[in-house]
């Protein structure tokens, strides 16, 4: 019974809280029990705050009795070790910051707390959230609950692994190259990369158009509910977008036109992932949608575009807080990133040119051709070792190799596009979940959710 409670969706839990059929205290204890059972194997949590969480759960139970419960009241929400919570450790997965205590709370975490969410744990992340796997010299290796030899994905890997293991009910993520969608795909979850500005940020990340904070959950309804809590404008962030309330119910997919691209022009996904994508397309057709394969002509210039931008902007941000890029306390993938040749302002500006070409083609082939959304794989393979790139691992590879395994970063280049990851099956080869990206037009957040709800 405890395990069953731990796997409740957030929307189910809130409904049961309101009906007095379940207490937030009972749910939290079930989640803690799952954490105690699974953490020795998956290592999803950096720090836990269970005693504080228990006190909050008791207050949440009282709020339901008093009729004053907020939207996330009593829901255990795992917070990625990227947004700060004042008074708690903020390591960003780095030995350099192992003892840093946050002196402020960032917007996404503050909105969770203000909505009554119980931040019972901080989750592991690769160092500075800059890898598609989740291991660091500080926290060790975080593994997939589905297959302990494989990665849980990154960079929101601890968040996703916790959800899949039942040790949280909702979890926060952030995405600068796929860091919400990749772990969502590899853990059988729903994850949403909002358009740039939908979820507000503080300096300097509010000016990073590739980056977005967003929600992870076990159902589409959960992610809609969570996104509605954390989105909306913020005083001081002029890039934050106007309010947008995602509806809980949407029209069926019947009548929608959906474009399908298994490779986006230059990726080579495993056949089992392509087969799962085709099966999802067949299901959409059964539901009344028109799904057509389109031929995209994007090339690996997209990779060069992303690396140029990230090295220019994110590299400068990281470089400002890392005194010595050769510091042996840093992970190899961070050292590789910091050693990228300097990028000039001209090269950075030129990188945006190919992004415009990418968007123009997507418009021609999909959105201006009458299609409502695009679907494509999230990752090219589920066979990624948990310790991929670790100095002691046989699975060697660096940051460049990692980005070749995922199909997410093109939609960070096109940062105004909303993208939902939706589970589409289990890979026969590894037993690891597979996911597809549902991409909507700029700022049309409801479109990918409409497709996801219809499946």
Q: Catalogue the active-site residues.
A: 80, 155, 179
Question: CB-based contacts of 358: which residues, under 8 Å, 6+ apart?
Answer: 298, 302, 305, 410, 413, 414
b (16+ CB within 10 A) / e for 302-322: bbebbbbbbbbbbbeebeeeb
Contact present, 190 and 452 (Cβ < 8 Å):
yes
Q: DSSP for 295-324?
A: -----THHHHHHHHHHHHTHHHHHHTT-S-
Give the integer Cα–Cα distance in Å for 117 and 83: 15
Q: CA–CA separation, 275 vs 428, rounded Å? A: 11
Give the span between the Cα atoms of 334 and 93, in whole angstroms: 11
Q: How many residues does the chain have?
A: 455
What is the C-alpha separation between 53 and 118, in angstroms, rounded?
Answer: 6
| 180: preceding bond cis by omega (within 30 degrees) | no
Helices 10-18 and 50-66: angle between axes, nearest 10 degrees:
50
* Radius of gyration for the alpha carbons in the chain, expressed in angstroms and rounded: 21
Alpha helices in 233-373 (DSSP H): 271-286, 301-312, 314-319, 332-338, 345-365
Residue 301 burial (10 A CB sphere; 0-12, 13-18, 19+): middle
Secondary structure (DSSP) of 30-78: HHHHHHHHHHHHH--EEEE-HHHHHHHHHHHHHHHHHT---TTTT-EEE
Q: Are strands 257-260 and 373-377 parallel, antiparallel or unpaired?
A: parallel
């Amino acid at each position: 019974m405890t395990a069953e409670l731990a796997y409740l969706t957030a929307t189910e839990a809130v409904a049961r809280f309101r009906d007095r059929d379940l207490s937030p205290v009972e749910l939290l204890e079930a989640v803690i029990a799952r954490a105690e059972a699974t953490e020795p194997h998956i290592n999803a949590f950096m720090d836990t705050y269970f005693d504080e969480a228990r006190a909050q759960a008791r207050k949440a139970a009282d709020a339901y009795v008093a009729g004053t419960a907020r939207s996330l009241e009593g829901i255990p929400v795992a917070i990625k070790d990227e947004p700060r919570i004042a008074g708690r450790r903020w390591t960003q997965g780095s030995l350099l910051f192992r003892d840093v205590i946050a002196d402020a709370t960032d917007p996404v975490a503050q909105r969770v707390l203000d909505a009554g969410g119980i931040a019972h744990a901080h989750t592991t992340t690769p160092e500075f959230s800059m890898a598609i796997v989740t291991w660091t010299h500080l926290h060790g290796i975080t593994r997939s609950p589905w297959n302990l030899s494989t990665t849980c994905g990154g960079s929101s890997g601890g968040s996703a692994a916790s959800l899949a293991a039942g040790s949280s009910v909702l979890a926060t993520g952030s995405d600068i190259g796929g860091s919400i969608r990749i772990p969502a795909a590899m853990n059988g979850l729903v994850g949403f990369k909002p358009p740039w500005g939908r979820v507000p940020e503080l300096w300097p990340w509010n000016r990073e158009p590739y980056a977005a904070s967003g929600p992870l959950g076990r159902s589409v309804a959960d992610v809609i509910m969570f996104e509605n809590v954390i989105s909306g404008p913020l005083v001081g962030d002029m890039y934050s977008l106007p309010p947008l309330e995602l509806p809980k119910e949407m029209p069926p997919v019947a009548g929608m036109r959906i474009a399908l691209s298994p490779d986006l022009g230059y990726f080579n996904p495993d056949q089992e992932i392509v087969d799962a994508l085709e099966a999802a397309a067949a299901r959409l057709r059964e539901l009344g949608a028109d799904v057509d394969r389109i031929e995209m002509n994007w090339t690996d210039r997209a990779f060069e575009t992303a690396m140029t931008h990230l090295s220019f902007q994110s590299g400068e941000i990281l470089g400002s807080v890392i005194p010595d890029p050769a510091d042996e306390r840093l992970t190899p993938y961070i050292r590789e990133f910091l050693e990228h040749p300097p990028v000039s302002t001209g090269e950075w500006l030129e990188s945006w040119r190919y992004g415009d070409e990418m968007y123009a083609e997507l418009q021609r082939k999909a959105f201006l051709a009458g299609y409502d959304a695009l679907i494509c794989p999230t990752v090219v393979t589920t066979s990624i070792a948990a310790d991929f790139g670790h100095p002691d691992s046989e699975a060697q590879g660096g940051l460049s190799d990692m980005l070749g395994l995922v199909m997410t970063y093109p939609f960070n280049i096109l940062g105004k596009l909303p993208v939902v990851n939706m589970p589409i099956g289990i890979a026969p080869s590894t037993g690891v979940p597979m996911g597809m990206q549902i991409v909507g037009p700029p700022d049309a957040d409801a479109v990918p959710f409409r497709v996801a709800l219809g499946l």
